[in-house]
């Protein structure tokens, strides 16, 4: 569904039927009340970019809300985990490298 920021996100839910205006992020729904989700977090959220770049079914994303250096702004922090290899993924856009390995031409450095 399209977020308030205008990007497609599989975790955003909006119910606008018959005048309702219910919006929520289902990835952040378990956040404590002090760190509740607000629509302004969608502008800087990395989840839509991650899901566009990596559609691996084994990638599990967990999100939390953290404050910036001086505590003036809030941002979404993402951690990724691969259920196939049971390891943390440092680059969620790329993945763990096990499910979708790079073609040999990109790893050799020269074409044949």
Q: How far apart are CA 76 and CA 58, in angstroms?
A: 21
3-state secondary structure of 39: helix
Residues 47-86: tens digit of each pLDDT: 999 999 998 999 999 999 998 888 788 999 999 999 999 9
Kindly state the tokens that stand for 22.
């219910």
Q: Identify the sign of the CA torsion 94, 97, 100, 103.
A: positive
Indicate the average pLDDT of the chain: 87
Whether pLDDT at 109 is above 70: no
**Burial class, 3, CB count within 10 angstroms (exposed 0-12 / middle 13-18 / buried 19+):** buried
What are residue 39's phi and psi, to 5 degrees?
-60, -25
Give the per-residue pLDDT at 98.
86
pTM score, two decimals? Answer: 0.80
- How is the chain split into domains, by residue range? 12-108
Residues 14-25: tens digit of each pLDDT: 998 988 888 999
């Amino acid at each position: 569904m399209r977020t308030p920021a205008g990007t497609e996100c599989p975790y955003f839910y909006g119910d606008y039927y018959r005048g309702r205006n219910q919006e929520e992020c289902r990835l952040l729904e378990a956040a404590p009340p002090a760190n509740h989700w607000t629509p302004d977090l969608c502008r800087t959220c990395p989840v839509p970019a991650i899901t566009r770049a990596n559609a691996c079914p084994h990638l599990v994303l967990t999100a939390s809300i953290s404050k910036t250096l001086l505590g003036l702004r809030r941002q979404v922090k993402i951690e990724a985990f691969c259920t196939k290899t049971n390891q943390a993924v440092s680059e969620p856009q790329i993945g763990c490298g096990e499910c979708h390995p790079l073609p040999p031409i990109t790893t050799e450095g020269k074409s044949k």
